Structure 1
């Protein structure tokens, strides 16, 4: 699943932008790093579950960041509809 991220032009990276996309129901798939701080990603997970948006868990923030094509870790990312 993470392979979809690298060259996706409808990609949003970061918790604030991801949360906004999920709240506005413009998210197709949500990616969350398993090692991200729970208080940071919990709202994203809750909104995604409420709106029946698929959640994919990445092994780590480092791997999620790399999959997104950035050199730092990422707690969350979203592919837009």
Structure 2
């Protein structure tokens, strides 16, 4: 999880989906308390590309780990 602070990343659902569609993602991070209807597409894309999915407890925690002051449902390390 510390890699989110130092490595190249995208934050938020739109950017994460775009990176997944371009096959630029190394690891997907998903907040457990995010609505599944929001995150399901990203999770399915990641699994179909055999990308590891890491679950973070809350959207607040995921935003904090990414050094942003807003809640976020997803983030991803990019290649």
Q: Could you say which TM-score interval applies, normalised by the shorter chain? A: over 0.9
| Other-structure match for 1:5 | 4
Within 1, Cα distance between the matches of 2:22 and 2:46? 11
Equivalenced residue count is 79
Q: Unpaired runs of 5+ in structure 2?
A: none
The match for 1:17 is 15
Q: Distance in 1 between matches of 2:72 and 2:32?
A: 11
TM-score (norm: length of structure 1): 0.93
Do structure 1's residue 60 and structure 2's residue 58 form an aligned pair?
A: yes
Q: Over the residues paired in the alignment, what is the CA RMSD in angstroms?
A: 0.7
